[in-house]
Amino acid sequence: MKTAKTAAQKNQRAEKILTTAAELFDHNDYSQITMSDIAQHCDLSKGTIFNYYPTKEALFLSLLNTKFSQYISVFSTTFNATADMSTDEFKKIIIDSVCSLFDTKRFLTYLRLMAIRTTVLNPGADAKTLKLVNSNLSQSSTDLAVNISQHLPGVVPQQLANLFSAINALVLGFFINTDLSSNFIFPESKLPLIRQTVTDYLDGFFNNSLNQK
């Protein structure tokens, strides 16, 4: 007789499914992965996978949520270790963090998932998962903005939240018409352009903020 799993056990299984999906995504394109593949690599039935994630899109949207939290934590850790900072110090942290997205494979999964979020993941996810993930993404950005505003005098959280949304759009813009396959390597020759683009945007942001005071 099977015993009911505890909440902790269910969470562990859900995490195992996400980890397995991420590992498969590291070596395959999204369209090549099936729920059967994930179930097989988890040593679970496909029905069990669907009990946790009602669609493949919902599963990978949940994975995106996890990867976004990891990316946000990089910013949070950096800013938590910093007392009040100047705008130049803030700019450097943002620019270096954005460039780290490109010059390592650490956040490639996040970028690849963001690239298909609007066209593939959102339309195929169930309403409950979509609402939960969108809420978590928004709340994580808001929490980060509130945290940073405590270290950056003169800038309010809403301004920072808007800034992060704009920078995220800039980052994704560099991937337009780019094949984000599992073996993707961003050309280092484009890093100076990325650095300059983000620098120019941050300069404009702070100029506008100062003019509005």
Task: Confirm if 100 and 106 have CB atoms less than 8 A apart.
Answer: yes
What would the two tokens of residue 110 be?
């996040």
39 and 114 share one domain: no
Residue 34 has pLDDT above 90, yes or no: yes
- The Cα 39–Cα 52 span in angstroms is 11
**Which pTM was predicted?**
0.85
118 and 28 share one domain: no
95 and 196 share one domain: yes
Residue type at position 208: N
> So what's the pLDDT on residue 3?
59
Instruction: Give residue-wise pLDDT tens across range 107-140.
Output: 888 888 988 899 899 999 999 999 999 999 888 8
Q: Tell me what the pLDDT averaged over the chain comes to.
A: 86
157 and 185 share one domain: yes
Handedness of CA 191, 193, 195, 201 (dihedral sign): negative
Residue 192 has pLDDT above 80, yes or no: yes
The band of 42, judged by pLDDT with boundaries at 50, 70 and 90, is very high
2 and 65 share one domain: no
Q: Quick one: average pLDDT of 150-161?
A: 86
CATH number of the domain at 162, please.
1.10.357.10
Higher pLDDT residue, 213 or 83?
83
The band of 212, judged by pLDDT with boundaries at 50, 70 and 90, is low
> So what's the pLDDT on residue 153?
79
- The Cα 60–Cα 102 span in angstroms is 21
Instruction: Give residue-wise pLDDT tens across range 202-211.
Output: 999 888 865 5
Residue 67 has pLDDT above 70, yes or no: yes
Residues 6+ apart with CB under 8 A from 16: 42
**What would the DSSP string read from start to end of the chain?**
-PPPPPHHHHHHHHHHHHHHHHHHHHHS-GGG--HHHHHHHHTS-HHHHHHH-SSHHHHHHHHHHHHHHHHHHHHHHHHHT--S--HHHHHHHHHHHHHHHHHSSTTHHHHHHHHHIIIIIHHHS-HHHHHHHHHHHHHHHHHHHHHHHTTSTT--HHHHHHHHHHHHHHHHHTTTT----TT----GGGHHHHHHHHHHHHHHHHHHHHHT-
Select from 52, 76, 91 the last residue of a domain: 52
45 and 86 share one domain: no
- The Cα 90–Cα 160 span in angstroms is 11
Angle at 24 between CA 22 and CA 26, to 5 degrees: 70
